Structure 1
Amino acid sequence: MNKTSWQDSLGEAWEALLDTLYMVGVSFVLTVIIGIALGVLLHASAPDGIRPNRVLNSVLGTVVNIGRSLPFVILLVLLIPATRAIVGTALGATAAIVPLTIGSVPFFARVVENALREVDSGRVEAARSMGATDKDIIVKVLLPESVPGLIAGATLTAVMLIGFSAMAGAIGAGGLGDFAIKYGYQRFNTPVLFVAVVILIVLVQAIQSTGDLVVRSMAHKR
């Protein structure tokens, strides 16, 4: 088998990085949107929430717990028919967005729920006493007060998505995981495999450092 140097694989590595950024970026945006909505519903319908609903809270909690309990590799396989139905194929970066989003939403929904729970209940009661509606409390009190926690959780979610994308690459989703398997592992090319690992580490460190910086800057302003 032809064994290329890591320098010869930089073009493929760049394309793999772009695929990873694409699938992680899109799935991250979808995860944040859906996760915030689901987390708000979980918090609001809790026994001590602004609109308690035991049945709704139990159903949502069960769905989220099931989603979190499934290993991502198994979820990838289980979602192949759904991915084909939605995207038209189970291969490629676009197809990977479906399992990446479904796999990360339960985690982020719990992050949102916990961040909202940390908001001082006195602020909620004060807003309620001034005639604020449930929507006003969510939009003007709960979410703004929990922004640092949400950003910290979103950072963790983005890092998790990078790991998920690498696993998805192993079964044909493209990206850095696919690059590492195809050009590194299968060709017994350790330097190329090392390049993929370094890129993933740099990407994770950049995201984590940026998220931490934003959280610290917001903490100084509060």
Structure 2
Amino acid sequence: MNIFIFTGGEAPSPETAKPFFEKCKPDYVIAADSGLETLDLYAEAFGEDFAPNLILGDMDSLKNLSLLEKYKNAKRELFPSDKDFTDTELALSTAREIGKTASVVLVGGNGGCLDHLISIYDSFSEDFHADVWLCVNQAVYFLAEKNRRKFLICSLKTEFQFRALQIILTIPLLRRKDLSGTVLEKKEWQVFQIEFPKKIFCIKIRLNFLQKKDLF
């Protein structure tokens, strides 16, 4: 079973991703918030196979609200904007509930808000991660290997001519409960100094994105 998730942010054009979708067809399609706009472009290019089965999120970034009427037959799950998980994370978690052994393909998520990009990266440390992440010009494949997690990153322009860039990155991933940090500012958007092995990053995280109990 192939579950496709379309999320907000930058995504490959239908033309760029066409070789991938010629080989991999969706059995179930989820649109997360403004990912519905990206999905609509794919539906116009590839037909009804890309009509959403489920639309979820807080809909705070969906600009073309007429799409909700266009795809009114899709199931909807609405969430408040003030929540502990991003719409992409909710979509990934839902996909795993639908099919625990399904192949999950995430389309989009480049650019946009930094916290959303971080959450996608962070999701690869969770059980509900995507198997394939299609970015603007690259495809990221998750490779499970016991206690190590690796990624194969290929250029979408060359991948299907069998001249892929064989770049395998070993990236240390930490679950939220493994993070430690210090609150630097006490505001709605708090700044945490997050400590990782050998490196320290300073990132801005909304209070409801990582709760205090997850950091300390």
Q: TM-score, normalised by structure 2?
A: 0.24
Q: Which has the higher contact order (CA 8 A, sep 6+)?
A: 1
By percentage of residues, which structure has more helix?
1
Which structure shows the bigger proportion of residues in strand conformation? 2
Give the alignment's TM-score, normalised by structure 1: 0.24
Q: Which has the larger radius of gyration?
A: 1
